[in-house]
Each structure stands twice: as structure tokens, then as C-alpha cells.
Amino acid sequence: MQLPALPGLPLLGCDSFMVLAVFCTVFALVFDLMKRRKWENYPPGPRGFPFVGNLLQVDLRNPHLSFGKLWKKYGNVVSLDFGWTNMVVLSGYNTLKEALVKKSEDFADRPDLPVFQNVLERFGSGIVFAKYGQWWREQRKFSLTMLRRFGMGKKSLELQIVEEAECLMKMFEEEKGLPFDPRFLINSAVSNIICLIVFGYRFEYQDEKSVELLHTIKESFQLEGGFWGQRKDDPTTSFLESGIINTVLDLFSAGTETSSTTLCWALLFMVLYPDVQSQVHEEIDRVIGKEGKPKLEDREEMPFTNAVIHESQRLRNIAPISLPHQTYRDTTIMGYTIPKGTAIIPNLTSALFDEDIWMTPHEFNPGHFLNSDGNFVKPEAFIPFSAGHRVCLGEQLAKTELFLFFTSMLQRFTFVLPENEPRPSYREAKFGITLCPLPYRLCVKAR
């Protein structure tokens, strides 16, 4: 039997076809093997499958859980192949400290991953996804300067956050004690702080433009004048209109999603642990009173409330594997050789759940941040904002928002679970770029 000839090709018999098929298969496997060839002293990891590597061995819906299992099996530095992309997962606080702090520049780049390309095509480089270099340095310095100039770290911004919290409280009151999902209202309130910084004004919570912006930010996370105008002809500068616009969008995304999600987790913990909520109420009443306005300086006198906020960040860390890094040059980590251009996954969860550091790492326990005298302490391994060159740009703003919004809400209300509805669980979450609680409802009662 002979197979039909293709135009321009000789007629092939079954034997010839089989030989060709075997040759192509062997060639493909050898090519795949060459692409996966490792360097000397490269980190250990699970053996992958041809062509797809370890993709089938990682739960892409909950990668942080898969990386946790790999940490226990292979150690603090684990190598993976995603297709033909080399990745190294870093776990354990000492490993993360060596990479992100001591060798910060070595690990400061961003990889060329498909999810990044999708974001870059839609929104441009900005600052979060920018490759390490002049663009990133210019935009980060510019962003920090502008945030400080327009209020970050100043008393005026504190007052604006407290005023926005008042608007949020009024929206809570309009629910009249009935069950509701607080996420949209909290999202709107937090996003208004960035609006005040960037635009100088806030949006009403049902404003169409505001709703559309918040939807875009949420979608992107689940998928994943004159100064710069004088430099528009410089081909190496990042101070172009598109660059500035995309950096502003990054500020909105990072400044809205992270703080609002953390507040949603914190409220969930309050309804699940009413005794803890009562202790927060007592401390607020003692330090601030029922009529006073919360101030950032109150935080020093409120160790328990501060501990509750930090424990919410630790246990439900919203960026469990941060964003992928990439080695900027050939380097080493914990004795292993990591070549330039290797994608790096900082497993922040490993530091926040380390059994050698935290008494009950998998349970909600504000005592993790209190010493024997009841004073607030922060273990060095608490790194929910990451560390080093790529540490969260808005860390200071986020800390201010979390304290002022949280204390304002708890000063005014008691949060309870609705009757005759399933009890939500903090152990279940939705993973995107951030780890979000599944939708839940609560009721508010005026205190």
C-alpha cells in the first residue's frame, strides 16, 4: 500500500512514512531536551513532561498552594519549566531576604511572560510591569515624588481618608441592617483616595466613570506638565504621554485593589471572630472615643487593633506569590546558580506561614503581633508588600488607609453574619494577581 503523493513530493510507502515519523519524533524530543538543558549547580525540581514541562503539575488556579507543596518536598529553591520558560520558586524568609534585599538588583527585572504581554498590550509599560532599567527608575522616582507632593505622609491626606470613611459609613447606614456585600462600596471609597491624589476630586460611588474604572481594574487583576514635555524628543526617556498615563493607571490599580481587598478580608475576620471584634471596639472606645476622629498617631496607642490589621494581612496575604521577577544578571541564591533571564517566583506566603516564626501560622491569631506585655511587635518575616527594589510603591499609603478605614468602620458599627445564610470561610479564596475572598454578605449594626 502506498500513500498518495503530495504535489512536488515523491510517493511515500508505509515504511518510509514510519521512518519519517520516527525521525520527526526523535528530533522533536532531542530539541525539547536541549531547550531544557540545565546549568551546573542549578536548583532541584520535579521532572517535567516533554514540551509542557511542569505546567500539568501546578494548579494554575491556586499556584501558591502548589508552590507550598513543592517547598516542602524540594526545599527553599525549586526549579520549574513552564513550557520552555525556566522558573525558580523562592521560599522561606531567609531565601527571600537574600534575593529581594541583599541581592535586590540581581532579582529586580520582570520576565517576558504571556500574562505580562497581555497587560502591556492593553495598558503599556507603566511602572509595575516595566523591565528593570532607566524607564523603571525614572517612573518609580517620579511616582514617589508625586505621591508625596500630593499628600502621602501628610496630615491633609489623613483628613481626606477620614472624610471618605464618613461617606462610606453613610452608604453602610443606607443598607438599614440588611445583608449586603461590602466589596463594591469599600472599593469605591479606597479608589477615591487615589482620585483625590491624582485628580484633586472624588467620585460618587455610583458614578459611571468610576464604576467602569473599578471594573477594568478588577478585570485586569483577575487576568492578571512641563517636565516630561521638555524631554519628549529624548528617545531613551520614559517621560512620554503614554508612559505617564500608564504609570497613573498602575497607581490606581495597585492603590485600589490591594487596600480594598485587605479591608474585605479584615471585615470577614471580624464577623467570624466576634470576640476579637469586641476587643477592637473596646480599644477604639478607650483611645479614640465614640465621637472622636481616628488619627494615624492613635495607632501607637492601639496595639491590639494594629495587630488585627496585620494578622489579616498575614493570614490572607493578598499577593501570595507577589509578581514574577527575573534575574537581571547571572547570580546565586542559597548556593545555587541562577542564570540571567530566569523567571523568579517569590513565594511570599512561605515567609508569612513559616512554622519557625509564627505560633499558629494557619489560624487567625492577632497574638502573632503582640509581645507578652501586650505591645505591638512586627516580626521581620512580615513582608506582604514584598521587599527590595520592587517593594510595593504605595506601602505607606496602604498602611495609612488600612488603619484609618478599619478604625472608622469599627468605631461606628458592629459587623455580624446574616441569619439563615451559609457561614463564609476565610480558607476559600479566588486567586488572580491578588487573593480575594469569595463573595460574602454581612449586616451592620450601629453601635
Q: Determine the pLDDT at residue 232.
A: 45
Residue 55 lies in a domain: no
Helices (H), 78-149: 93-97, 114-123, 134-149
Quickly list DSSP for 250-299: HHHHHHHHHHHHHHHHHHHHHHH-HHHHHHHHHHHHHHT-SSSPP-GGGG
CA–CA distance, 309 with 409 (Å, rounded to integer): 13
Residue 95 lies in a domain: no
Residue 219 lies in a domain: yes
What number of helices (H) and strands (E) belong to the chain?
14, 10
What value, to the nearest 5°, has the Cα angle with vertex 96 and ends 95 and 97? 90
Helices (H), 75-207: 93-97, 114-123, 134-149, 155-173, 183-198
Residue 84 lies in a domain: no
Residue 66 lies in a domain: no
Q: Determine the pLDDT at residue 361.
A: 95
Residue 190 lies in a domain: yes
State which residues form the domain around 123: 119-446
Paired residues of 67 in beta bridges: none
C-alpha neighbours within 13 Å on the C-beta side of residue 125: 23
CA–CA distance, 435 with 322 (Å, rounded to integer): 10
Residue 251 lies in a domain: yes
Residue 112 lies in a domain: no
What value, to the nearest 5°, has the Cα angle with vertex 261 and ends 87 and 223? 45
Q: What is the pTM of this model?
A: 0.82
**How many independent structural domains does the chain possess?**
1
Q: Determine the pLDDT at residue 238.
A: 46
List the CATH number of the domain containing 243: 1.10.630.10
Largest CA distance in the chain: 93
For 53: left if phi > 0, alpha if psi spans -120 to 50, otherwise beta; the answer is left
Give the residue ranges of the chain where pLDDT is below 50. 1-3, 6, 9, 27, 29, 31-32, 123, 223-229, 231-235, 237-242
